[in-house]
Structure 1
Amino acid sequence: MVTTTGIDQHVEPPPVEVASDLRLGDLGGALAAGFADFRAHPIYGLFFAAIYVGTGIFLYFALVEWGQAEWLIPATAGFPLIAPFTAVGLYEVSRRREAGLPIGWGAVLGALKGHGDQQIMLMGGIVFVAFSFWMIVAHGIFAIFMAESGVGSESIEMLATDAGLAMLAVGSIVGGLMALAFYAITVMSLPMLVDRETDFLSAIFASLKAIRDNRFVLLVWAAIIAIALFVAMVPAFLGLLVVLPVLGHATWHLYRRTVTAGAAS
C-alpha cells in the first residue's frame, strides 16, 4: 500500500508473461530440482504426503466398512484431483528455498491462507466441488452399466463382465477428460497464487494460456503425474510419501520456468 495525499492506493503487481517455448528437457530439470527440494527439507513433504495417504487409507476402510465398495474405484480414480491442493505447502517450501528465505512451519502452513485474500481457499472450494462432481458422475456411470448386470456391486467379479468392462471404459474416458480439464486450470494457477498477489481467475487464465502455448510438453507432464500417482497408490498409497512431494516441488519449478513477471505497463 502506498499513501499519497492521505489516500491509500493499492499497488498492482506486475503483469505475468507465460513462456511458449517449454521443452521436454524442462520436465527433467523440474523433476531433478523437485527431488533436491525434497531431500533438503523432507519433513514437510512427508507431512503433507502423510495427510494425503492417511485420507486415502481412511477412505478405503470407511467405504468397505459401510458396505459401499462400489465407490472404491471412482474414489481411487478421483483421488489425484486433490493432489494439487495438497501440494500448496510444498510450493511454499520450494519458493522459500529458491529465494533463500527461512523455512518454518508457520510460513509453510500459512501458505494455505495465501496472501490473506482467500484466493487459495476459493481454489480449494473448486477442488472439493470437482471431486464431489466426479464421484456423482462416476456413481451414475456405475448405476447405468451395472444395474442389470446381476452381479453384486461388492464383488470384484463385476469388473470381468461385459457391463463391468464397458463401465470401466466409459468411466476412464469421462474421468480422463475431467481430470485433464482440472489439470489445465490448476497446474500453474495454484503455484501462482502462492507466489503472487493475484485473483484466482487471473491465475486460471494464466494456467490455460500455458497449456495452450505449450500443449505437448504440458500434456506429457500431465501423463507423468497421472502415471506416477497411480503407481505410487498401488502399495497401500505408501509410494505417495515420496512421489507426491517430489511432484509438488517439481511443479513449482516448472511454474517458475513457465510464468514470470513481465514489465509493468
Structure 2
Amino acid sequence: MTSKTIKPTPPKNLTPEQRAMLNVNKVTAGDISASLRAGLTDFLARPLMSGFFGLFYAVFGILFVWCLVWLGKIWMIIPAMVGFPLIAPFAAAGLYEMSRRLQKGESFGWSEILTVMANQRKREMGWMAFVTLFIFWVWMYQVRLWLAIILQDASFSDFDGFLNTVFFTPEGWTFLAIGTCAGAVLSAVLFSVTVVAMPMLLDRDIDFVSAMLTSIRVVTENPGIMLIWAAIISVTMLVSMLPAFLGLILTLPILGHTTWHLYQRAVTSADA
C-alpha cells in the first residue's frame, strides 16, 4: 500500500518547534511508480513551461563543456559531465513550484514560476543552492587533486589522449577507482540532504537545516527504495546527456515533477 498524499498547504500559526515535527513515511516501489505517473501528468499539463527548465539545464551543460574546451581543460570534461546531475535539484526548483500549484489547482504564469527563488520566504532556498554548488565544487576539486597525485606525469594535449591515459594505463585505472569511490560518497551526501529538502522549502515554513535533516531521515528510514530512486535519477540523467545534453529537455522536467510527488508521499505533518 502506498503512503497517502496530503495537501501541500502548511498549517497556520505554528511555532518553530511544531513546524519541525514532521512524519517520515515508509516509501515503497509503488510510491515511486505513482510519483512517476504524476510527474508525467504534470509535464503533459504544461509541457512548454516544463520543457523550458530542461532546455535551460541542457544549454547550461553545453556551454559548460564548451568553456572547458576553450580553456584547454580537456581532462575536466568527463568528471564535469558525471558531476553535472549533482546540481539538478537546484535547477528543478521551478518544476517543484509548478507541481505544487497544479496539485492545489492554482493558476500560474511564467512570472510566478521564474521568480520562485526570489520570492521564496526567508530565502532558505538560496542556502540550499549554496550547499548544492559547494558540493559540486568539492566534486571538481577532488578530481583535480587525484589527477595531480596519481597522473602527475601524464600530459593531456587532447581528449583522446586523456581517454587513453585514464582507460588504458594502470595509473588511469587507479584514478578511476579512487575517483569513483570519492564521487560516490559526495553523491550520496548530496542526494541525502536534497532529495526532499528542495521541494520542502517551497511547501513549508521551515529552515534549510531542518529541511536537510528531514531529507536525511527519509533516506535513512527508506534506504533500499531511496537507493533505487537515486539509481533511476543517475542512469536517466547520464543517458540523457549522451546526445549533446538534449535528452535533458524531456527527462529533467519529468524527474523534477516526480520528485515533488515523491516528497509528498515521504513527508507529512505530525498531526496528519
Return the TM-score normalized by structure 2: 0.89
Q: Distance between the aligned counterparts of 1:118 and 1:150, measured in 2?
A: 45
Post-superposition offset of 1:166: 1.7
Matched, 1:172 2:180: yes
Post-superposition offset of 1:148: 2.7
* Aligned partner (choices 46, 49, 69) of residue 54 of structure 2: 49
The aligned residue for residue 241 of structure 1 is 249
The aligned residue for residue 65 of structure 1 is 70
**For residues 249 and 242 of structure 1, do their structure 2 counterparts lie closer, same or farther at Cα, with a shift above 3 Å needed?**
same
* Aligned partner (choices 128, 132, 135) of residue 130 of structure 1: 135
Post-superposition offset of 1:153: 6.6
Equivalent position SS for 1:22: coil
The aligned residue for residue 119 of structure 1 is 124
Post-superposition offset of 1:110: 2.7
Post-superposition offset of 1:116: 2.6
Q: Distance between the aligned counterparts of 2:208 and 2:119, measured in 1?
A: 11
Could you tell me the percent identity over the aligned residues?
A: 37
Post-superposition offset of 1:115: 3.2
Q: Distance between the aligned counterparts of 1:91 and 1:116, measured in 2?
A: 15
Matched, 1:213 2:218: no
Equivalent position SS for 2:268: strand
Contact 1:149–1:163, Cα closer than 8 Å, also in 2:
no
The aligned residue for residue 22 of structure 1 is 27
Q: Which stretch of the first structure deviates more once superposed, 144-153 or 235-244?
A: 144-153
The aligned residue for residue 5 of structure 1 is none
Contact 1:114–1:120, Cα closer than 8 Å, also in 2:
no
Matched, 1:158 2:169: no
Q: Distance between the aligned counterparts of 1:152 and 1:162, measured in 2?
A: 19
**Which runs of 5 or more structure 1 residues have no equivalent in the other structure?**
1-9
The aligned residue for residue 40 of structure 2 is 35
Equivalent position SS for 2:271: coil
Q: Distance between the aligned counterparts of 2:119 and 2:198, measured in 1?
A: 10
Contact 2:36–2:254, Cα closer than 8 Å, also in 1:
yes
Post-superposition offset of 1:163: 1.3
Post-superposition offset of 1:164: 1.4
Amino acid across the alignment from 1:122: W
The aligned residue for residue 148 of structure 2 is 143
Q: Distance between the aligned counterparts of 2:28 and 2:260, measured in 1?
A: 16
Amino acid across the alignment from 1:16: L
Equivalent position SS for 2:201: helix
Contact 2:95–2:256, Cα closer than 8 Å, also in 1:
yes
Equivalent position SS for 2:134: helix
Contact 2:75–2:156, Cα closer than 8 Å, also in 1:
no
**For residues 115 and 149 of structure 1, do their structure 2 counterparts lie closer, same or farther at Cα, with a shift above 3 Å needed?**
closer
Q: Distance between the aligned counterparts of 1:23 and 1:99, measured in 2?
A: 24
Return the TM-score normalized by structure 1: 0.91
The aligned residue for residue 3 of structure 1 is none
Contact 1:114–1:193, Cα closer than 8 Å, also in 2:
no
Q: Which stretch of the first structure deviates more once superposed, 134-143 or 42-51?
A: 42-51
